[in-house]
Structure 1
Amino acid sequence: MTVTIDYKGKIVFITGGGRGIGLAITTAFAKAGATVIVTYTSKDPKEIVEKISIEFKVPIHVYYCPGENTNRVNEVIELSSKEIGEIDIVIPNAGVSLWRDTVDMSDSELDWIMKTNLYAPITLCRGFVRHWLGMGASIKSENDPGKPLDIEKINLNKRILVVSSISGVVNMRPQRQMAYNVSKAGLTMACKSLAGEWAKYGITINSISPGYVATDMIKEPPPGEGSLWPLKWKQDTPVDRFAEAEEIGQMVVLMCSQQSSTFMTGHDLIIDGGFTTY
């Protein structure tokens, strides 16, 4: 039997979907026929995603949405749902890294890592689930009445797949990145926790933890001792190569499909070429 994955009629929301792994995820969903919504913080990817839109003949929409700005995130959730349609799949992908000894890390740097990599994906998921439940994405006050009393168990048939990292599983080396490791470990556990909490709403929540991927970080390592790090990373990867971003994108599409995601929730899939086997 031939297995085909068709996302025609589906709308996918991808944070940081205009570069790196996020762009590969955008491309994979577009190739599968989905309408895609991409958010960005720094560089507008409109020209890049327009080429993908034309190639695969699907709409791709772009919104400015810094993940640490919860008010803007909730605004984009409501706005995109109104302008494009109800979102079926959410991919919290955006993240940042910082190679810094902990004794040299400032409070602002620590806040930046945690807010972007951990806090932002959680508030994004919360906003979408509130929206799907008809509550409105924003929490107005600490005395917010919560979900409607008549909502106990429903089947929204929604998917959330979060891009985490093997840095949440093992202590990476030789770079120093405690804050990044902690943020990703927390993110993976957040997905497991939310999967149990929101399963009764017909929402599956899973995560992927990629190893080293051939993105800008690999191609343009930091100067000095950092220039030797990619060689060490490759040596520690049993398959003796880095992943291509397209491989990650294709796996995300598979994991969110009706063929694979109806019973899988709370799972973290490690895609690392064997790195964490040591």
Structure 2
Amino acid sequence: MSTTTGLPEFSLANKVVLVSGAARGLGLTQAEALLEAGAKVYALDRLPEPSPDFHTIAERAKSQLNTSLHYRQIDVRDVAALNKIVEEIGDVEGRLDGLIAAAGIQQETPALEYTAEDANRMFEVNMTGVFMTSQACAKQMIRFGNGGSIVMIASMSGSIANRGLICAAYNASKAGVIQLGRNLAAEWGPHNIRVNTISPGYIVTAMVEDLFVKYPDRKADWPTQNMLGRLSKPAEYRGAAVFLISDASSFMTGADLKMDGGHSAW
């Protein structure tokens, strides 16, 4: 792998990294990048079975990258089971070096119509779930005494109100993730655990493509709202994942890496 010889600080060789929400989409894309940088990756997700792409990537990790990709089914709201799985991974590997917390849900509903049940589910997955996943991993990092890096997927929607997108609960949950990142960084810095967040802009995923069928005006309008005049792809966040987990960002903590095409910089 070229990163090992050219830019060794980006190498994740011999590192063990967890990625929640990695059965598909952005989480799986970032997991693949970590594998290419040399990490052994454990994907956590609530789906009974990951996407077909997952198995292709797992086979490539084994046959070409000399590492491995494993799957563990878990709903991040099941805190006892979550801690058990993370501890078992620590027992097997004897270390835990990183986490990308990418599990999250979205629900677009007018604020006047949102039920408490729906709002609580949004916060439970997007904020409490991220918190508990980070906590479970931090316990193992402290247990092994090697420090680590935690990256939580927030959103530009944690800093702005999206024009034409009715999702007050989602945006509030992502704002909570950004603030959570700062506070965990402060508490866990003495243990050499870094905590940062990534705030993506609009990403074209299968879910968003389905949304464009329902709201074709958004497909035309959303690209006009940022400085690059286009939407992003999951692959454009690969480098950020490797950067924040690796020693290339060794003096970066408590920060939010905003990657929104300039959307919120107007």
Q: Quick check: TM above 0.5?
A: yes
Q: How has the CA–CA distance of structure 1 residues 51 and 230 changed in structure 2, closer, same or farther, with 3 Å as cutoff?
A: same
- Tell me how far 1:19 sits from its aligned partner: 1.1
> Runs of 4+ in structure 1 displaced over 6 angstroms?
none
1:135-214 superposed matches below 5 A? 156-214=146-204
Say if 2:23 and 2:47, in contact at 8 Å, map to a contact too.
no
Match of 1:245 among 225, 234, 248: 234
Match of 1:254 in 2: 243
Matched, 1:15 2:20: yes
Q: C-alpha distance in 1, partners of 2:184/2:194?
A: 9
Say if 1:210 and 1:272, in contact at 8 Å, map to a contact too.
yes
Match of 1:139 in 2: none
1:1-278 superposed matches below 5 A? 2-4=6-8, 5-45=10-50, 47-57=52-62, 58-134=67-143, 156-221=146-211, 224=214, 226-259=215-248, 261-278=249-266
Say if 1:101 and 1:177, in contact at 8 Å, map to a contact too.
yes
Residues paired across the two proteins, number: 257
Q: Which letter does structure 2 place at the counterpart of 1:164? A: A
Say if 1:46 and 1:62, in contact at 8 Å, map to a contact too.
no
Deviations 1:86-138 (A, max 9, x none): 2210111110001000111112111110000000111111222223334xxxx
Please list every run of 5 or more consecutive structure 2 residues that lacks an aligned counterpart in the other structure: none
CA RMSD of aligned residues (A): 1.8
Q: C-alpha distance in 1, partners of 2:246/2:101?
A: 17
SS at 1:243 equivalent: coil
Provide TM-score, normalisation by structure 2: 0.91
Q: How has the CA–CA distance of structure 1 residues 81 and 242 changed in structure 2, closer, same or farther, with 3 Å as cutoff?
A: same
Provide TM-score, normalisation by structure 1: 0.87
SS at 1:102 equivalent: coil
Say if 2:149 and 2:244, in contact at 8 Å, map to a contact too.
no
Q: C-alpha distance in 1, partners of 2:79/2:246?
A: 29
Q: C-alpha distance in 2, partners of 1:227/1:19?
A: 24
Q: How has the CA–CA distance of structure 1 residues 106 and 120 changed in structure 2, closer, same or farther, with 3 Å as cutoff?
A: same
Q: Which letter does structure 1 place at the counterpart of 2:15? A: K
Q: How has the CA–CA distance of structure 1 residues 47 and 86 changed in structure 2, closer, same or farther, with 3 Å as cutoff?
A: farther
Q: How has the CA–CA distance of structure 1 residues 246 and 85 changed in structure 2, closer, same or farther, with 3 Å as cutoff?
A: farther
Please list every run of 5 or more consecutive structure 1 residues that lacks an aligned counterpart in the other structure: 135-153
Deviates more, 1:175-184 or 1:49-58: 49-58
Q: How has the CA–CA distance of structure 1 residues 217 and 228 changed in structure 2, closer, same or farther, with 3 Å as cutoff?
A: farther
Q: How has the CA–CA distance of structure 1 residues 242 and 162 changed in structure 2, closer, same or farther, with 3 Å as cutoff?
A: same
- Tell me how far 1:155 sits from its aligned partner: 6.0
Q: C-alpha distance in 2, partners of 1:49/1:175?
A: 31
Q: Which letter does structure 2 place at the counterpart of 1:3? A: L
Q: Which letter does structure 2 place at the counterpart of 1:52? A: I
Say if 2:24 and 2:51, in contact at 8 Å, map to a contact too.
no
